[in-house]
Structure 1
Amino acid sequence: MMRLLIDTNIVIDLLSKRENFYEEAADLFSRADKNELDLSISSLTFANTNYILTKLTSAKQAREILRKFKVLVDVLSLDDKITELALSDDNFPDFEDGLQYYSAMENEIDIIITRNKKDFKNSKIPVLTAKEFLART
C-alpha cells in the first residue's frame, strides 16, 4: 500500500474545513478510512494542528477533533536524528519543512502531500498536491 506523508496544511484543510481545499483533503482521508491509502503525519503536525484548532474552537473541542482524526493516520516520531538532519540541511531553510521531509525519509514514505510544493523543491521523495495525487489515482 502506498505510504503518504501528509503535510500540516492538508490536515488543517480537512479539520478546519478550509474553503477551496477541504474537498481534496476529505477525499484523501476518506480513502485512508477505506484502507486504500496509508497516511502518516509527523508528531509536529499533530502539535501544530492542535494549536491552530484551539484558535478556531476550544481546547476541549480541539482535542476531541484530534482524537477522532488520529484513527486515520500513523503519527511519526521526531527524534534526535531527524532533528539533527533538519538543522544541518540548508536545502530546507524552513526548519519545520526539514522536519517533515526527514520524517518522511526516515520512515520510507512514498510521496509527500502538501499545498506548498516549493518548500520541498530539493526533496528526493516525490511531492504532490492533494489535487495532483488524486488525479493520478
Structure 2
Amino acid sequence: MTYKRLFLDSDVLLDMFLKREPFFFHTQVLLIECIKGNIELRTSSLVIANTIYVLRKQVGIVKAKENLKNLFNSAKVLSFEFDAIESALSSDFTDFEDAIQFYIAQKHHCDAIITRNIKDYTNSTIPVLTAEQFLNTL
C-alpha cells in the first residue's frame, strides 16, 4: 500500500526536535521525503500543544516555538474539533488522547499514523506504523 498523507503523533515530533536516538534519523528522512514532495506530513493542534508542553521544559520556550514554526513549513496542522472528542468518548480505544488523534487523522483522510506508541492504536482502522516501518515501505 502507498501511504501519501501521514499523521505524526507527539512522540515522533519529540524524537525529531530532541534528536532522540535511535529514532531521530527516521524522522529526518520523513522530513526529507516531505520536502521532496513524496509524502505529506500532518499533525493536530492537540499534538502541537502536547509537544510544546514537553519541549519548553527540555529546551526552553523560545527554542520550542522556533522548532514548531519551522515544522509549519513542512507539515499541515489539522484542527482539533468537538467531533473528535465525541467519537473518542464513544470508542473502544484505551487511551483517550490517541483516540482523539485517530479520529482527527481519519476525518482528514490520512493514510497512516506514524507513532512509536502502536499499542494504544489497536482499534485503529488506519495503518499505524513507526517511522522506521513506514520508511521500509518506500
* Secondary structure at 1:136 match in 2: coil
Aligned partners of 2:43, 2:119: CA distance in 1, in Å?
Answer: 19
- 1:122 matched to which residue of 2? 123
The normalised TM-score by structure 2 is: 0.94
Following superposition, the deviation at residue 87 of structure 1 comes to 1.4
* Secondary structure at 1:13 match in 2: helix
Identity over aligned pairs, percent? 41
Q: For 2:6, which of 1, 4, 7 is the aligned residue?
A: 4
- Equivalent residues in 2 for 1:80-95, closer than 5 Å: 80-89=82-91, 91-95=92-96
- 1:43 matched to which residue of 2? 45
Counterpart check, 1:96 vs 2:97: yes
Aligned partners of 1:92, 1:29: CA distance in 2, in Å?
Answer: 29
Q: Which letter maps to 2:123?
A: N
- 1:107 matched to which residue of 2? 108
Q: For 2:75, which of 68, 73, 76 is the aligned residue?
A: 73
Residues 15-45 of structure 1: CA deviation (Å, up to 9, x unaligned):
1100111001111111112211101001111
Following superposition, the deviation at residue 52 of structure 1 comes to 0.9
Q: Count matched residues.
A: 136
Q: Quote the RMSD (CA, aligned, Å).
A: 1.1
* Secondary structure at 2:136 match in 1: helix
Aligned partners of 2:59, 2:8: CA distance in 1, in Å?
Answer: 22
- 2:134 matched to which residue of 1? 133
Q: Which letter maps to 1:134?
A: L
Aligned partners of 1:64, 1:135: CA distance in 2, in Å?
Answer: 30
Counterpart check, 1:13 vs 2:9: no
Following superposition, the deviation at residue 5 of structure 1 comes to 0.5
Runs of 4+ in 1 over 4 A off after TM superposition: none
**Runs of 5+ in structure 2 lacking a partner?**
none
The normalised TM-score by structure 1 is: 0.95
Q: Which letter maps to 1:29?
A: L
